[in-house]
Amino acid sequence: MRSKTERRLTQILSMIPWVIANPGARVEEVCDRFGYDRRDLVADLNLVFVCGLPGYGPGDLMDAYIDEDEVVIDMADYFSRQLRLNPAEALGLLASGMALTSTGQAPPALESAVSKLRDALLPDAEAVLSVDLSEEPEVLDILRRGATDARVIDMVYTSLGRGETKERSIEPWSVFSAMGNWYVSAHCRTAGGERVFRVDRIRTAAVTNEQFEPPAEIPPPEVRYTPSEDDVRATIRLGPNARWVAEYYPVEELDQDGLVRFSASDAAVPARLLLRLGSDAELVDGDETNLRVSEIREAILRRYL
């Protein structure tokens, strides 16, 4: 799940219980407390409207709307009750928490929560519960050492977009795992900007003796795409059924009617997306992308002729 979607879900799940516990809450108060503007608040209330528990009868679905200047959320009492896990759910939660803390990436708050859950659920968890993670790549130790000691790393890397293999010098900030893969977040001296590299595409890596000054605020460890000057750019108009693209992909939203600017190292990326979306999206500008759409469409048609 992309970070933008994660932040929106967290915002929604924080807002709903508070509104339920504070009937009569005004729009301005909710926006100030949870970082909304009115348009986004309305969008999230529309999103959760008629969501609910299985059964999906009238008594199982939420009401969420704005009445004049009051935020109203009804039929959602399950959000106001304390979560109660069954034994299997609690054990799964504990195992997941232990897995994350074993990577060294867990924030202090999570480590504290896992410790409390372990003490309450299974005090001797370390002896009876085995969390078996796949073996880490050897290069991870090199990357972690570079990040910990603030030392430049020279590496040979194969890019995903163009398939090019070349030498790079990076200033590693953090090493993390996401979606089943390991990544290193860094300033790439070769590209002249922030980059996130997939570790399994690093062919060789070595820590140098050169130190660097990390930024005062290191970007959060997450998979994201940083556009470069050499990228292909396409302006796309997203229809109502394709608005999810703006939350899943790192696009620049140009207006509130679905117009976005898509950046990628290869024109095939937005071209495939456009073909997938069909009539739900329109290419407004982007000659390279338009050419790749035609090439891919013709290649697909040839398979059926």
pLDDT digits (tens, 9 = 90+) for 74-129: 876 777 666 677 778 888 888 888 877 766 667 788 888 888 888 887 777 666 66
Mean pLDDT, residues 148-173: 88
Number of compact structural domains in the chain: 4
Contact criterion met (CB below 8 Å) for 194 and 188: yes
Question: Are residues 61 and 104 both part of a single domain?
Answer: no
Instruction: Judge whether 226 lies within some domain.
Output: no
Here the CATH number for the domain that contains residue 174 is 2.30.30
Question: Are residues 114 and 150 both part of a single domain?
Answer: no
Q: Is the pLDDT of residue 154 over 60?
A: yes
Mean pLDDT, residues 65-80: 82
Question: Are residues 7 and 48 both part of a single domain?
Answer: yes
Average pLDDT taken over every residue of the chain: 83
What percent of the chain is predicted at pLDDT more than 90?
28
Q: Is the pLDDT of residue 234 over 60?
A: yes
Question: Are residues 11 and 50 both part of a single domain?
Answer: yes
Question: Are residues 73 and 103 both part of a single domain?
Answer: no
Residues contacting residue 135 through CB under 8 Å, at least 6 positions apart = none
d(CA 143, CA 222): 16
pLDDT tier at 133, thresholds 50, 70, 90: low
Question: Are residues 62 and 99 both part of a single domain?
Answer: no
Q: Name the one residue in this structure whose structure tokens are 């290869």.
A: 266
Q: Is the pLDDT of residue 11 over 80?
A: yes
d(CA 234, CA 288): 8
Instruction: Judge whether 227 lies within some domain.
Output: no
d(CA 17, CA 76): 9
What percent of the chain is predicted at pLDDT more than 70?
84
Q: Is the pLDDT of residue 138 over 80?
A: yes
Instruction: Judge whether 144 lies within some domain.
Output: yes
Instruction: Judge whether 277 lies within some domain.
Output: yes
pLDDT for residue 17 = 87
Question: Are residues 67 and 92 both part of a single domain?
Answer: no
- At which of 147, 178, 211 does a domain end? 211
Q: Is the pLDDT of residue 57 over 90?
A: no
Instruction: Judge whether 219 lies within some domain.
Output: no
pLDDT for residue 1 = 43
> Domain range for residue 51?
3-79
The tokens for 80 are 């106001």
Q: Is the pLDDT of residue 305 over 70?
A: no
Contact criterion met (CB below 8 Å) for 195 and 186: yes
pLDDT tier at 54, thresholds 50, 70, 90: low
Q: Is the pLDDT of residue 278 over 50?
A: yes
Instruction: Judge whether 102 lies within some domain.
Output: yes
- Look at the chain and count its residues: 305
pLDDT tier at 26, thresholds 50, 70, 90: very high
Question: Are residues 154 and 181 both part of a single domain?
Answer: yes
Here the CATH number for the domain that contains residue 25 is 1.10.10
Question: Are residues 257 and 290 both part of a single domain?
Answer: yes
Question: Are residues 75 and 107 both part of a single domain?
Answer: no
Q: Is the pLDDT of residue 60 over 80?
A: no
Instruction: Judge whether 216 lies within some domain.
Output: no
Instruction: Judge whether 147 lies within some domain.
Output: yes
Q: Please choose, from the candidates 249, 253, 257, 255, the residue with its C-alpha nearest in 3D space to the C-alpha of residue 274.
A: 249
